[in-house]
Structure 1
Amino acid sequence: MSRLWHFFQTVLGVVFRHPVTGTSIITVLPDDRIVLIRRRDNGLWGLPGGIVDWGEDLPTAIRRELFEETGLELTKIRRLVGIYSAPDRDPRMHSICVVVEVEATGKFKPKDVNEVLDVKAFHCSQLPPGKLSHDHGQQLQDYFAGRTTLA
């Protein structure tokens, strides 16, 4: 299966030769907890987010992905945390990830159960131990350090 996936990635790379644009969303609740999702594809915790759809701007993609993956409603985009573009940051494809900090309200109820196993909020000192999905650990480190990163 991994050989087939590698072949598929290679074909896509040759045909399109452009990275895909996506977003990661650092969602801060009123009690300062950070929202993470447990991904169905790898079982790891990570930030909600996803690919920007054709004809969609970033704020719309952020609102849509946050709602689909957590059930939360976006109330405010606070700031740009960074743009991450390393070709190996996402094991599935070369993607450019725009990371933002947002405020949101509502109840956890993921709509996209094909991608999300669980949604939880964590205090920054109690993030799940172990590796986070993709480069989300680095994104969170940069966020907690107050950096705006271009990587």
Structure 2
Amino acid sequence: MRRLIQIFQTVLGLILRHPVTGTSIIAVLPDQRIVLVRRTDNKRWALPGGIVDWGETLESTVKRELQEETGLKTLGSPRLVGVYSSPQRDPRMHSICVVVEVAADGVMSVGDELEISEVRAFSRAELPVSGLSHDHDQQLQNYFEGLTVLA
């Protein structure tokens, strides 16, 4: 049922010709590794995240999406990395993505097998950059440069 609601919201956004708001999460584990998920639709690694549900805050979306996709919990409040709004950033639709960094902990597990096939933590040197889904390469580059971006 939840998935049908998400699909309806996406279609409604497309019909009304307004961008859909979502989030990407740079989840940092206590050992400083960064968590990525492998998407089922394009088979690429990506930052966890998703669309803000009706009546939800960005912070609650971050907590929900991280838990649903990775099994992890957030520790403390998210830190804003940037807001990305290029119409070309997501091949499915025009979306505005609010990117945040969070400290995360717990046991990694795939929660939503329709969207995610694998969850893995990478050291900075191991990150599979230059091939991440959407514009996540740029988001991580801005994060590592310590920038807060409006793009």
Q: CA, structure 1 residues 105+46, in 2 after alignment: closer, same or farther (shift >3 Å)?
A: same
Q: Distance in 1 between matches of 2:118 and 2:66?
A: 13
Unaligned runs of 5+ in 1: 1-8
Q: CA deviation at 1:77?
A: 2.8
Q: Secondary structure at the match of 1:36?
A: strand
Q: Distance in 2 between matches of 1:140 and 1:91?
A: 19
CA contact 1:77–1:100 (8 Å) conserved in 2: no
Q: Does 1:119 align with 2:119?
A: yes
Q: Distance in 1 between matches of 2:12 and 2:105?
A: 41
Q: Distance in 1 between matches of 2:141 and 2:118?
A: 22
CA contact 2:129–2:137 (8 Å) conserved in 1: no
Return the index of the structure with the highest Cα Rg: 1
Structure-2 residue corresponding to 1:83: 83
User: Identity over aligned residues, as a percent?
Assistant: 61
Structure-1 residue corresponding to 2:66: 66
Deviation string 1:23-70 (CA, Å, 9 cap, x unpaired) is: 000000000000000000100000000000000000000000000000
Q: What is the root-mean-square deviation in Å for CA atoms of aligned residues?
A: 1.7
Q: Aligned pair count?
A: 142
Structure-2 residue corresponding to 1:131: 131
Q: CA, structure 1 residues 16+120, in 2 after alignment: closer, same or farther (shift >3 Å)?
A: same
Q: CA, structure 1 residues 20+31, in 2 after alignment: closer, same or farther (shift >3 Å)?
A: same
Unaligned runs of 5+ in 2: 1-9
Q: CA, structure 1 residues 44+74, in 2 after alignment: closer, same or farther (shift >3 Å)?
A: same
- TM-score, normalised to structure 1's length? 0.89
Q: CA deviation at 1:75?
A: 1.1
Structure-1 residue corresponding to 2:105: 105
CA contact 2:59–2:78 (8 Å) conserved in 1: no
Q: Does 1:22 align with 2:16?
A: no
Amino acid at match of 1:35: V
Q: Distance in 2 between matches of 1:48 and 1:11?
A: 23
- TM-score, normalised to structure 2's length? 0.89
Q: Distance in 2 between matches of 1:30 and 1:10?
A: 38
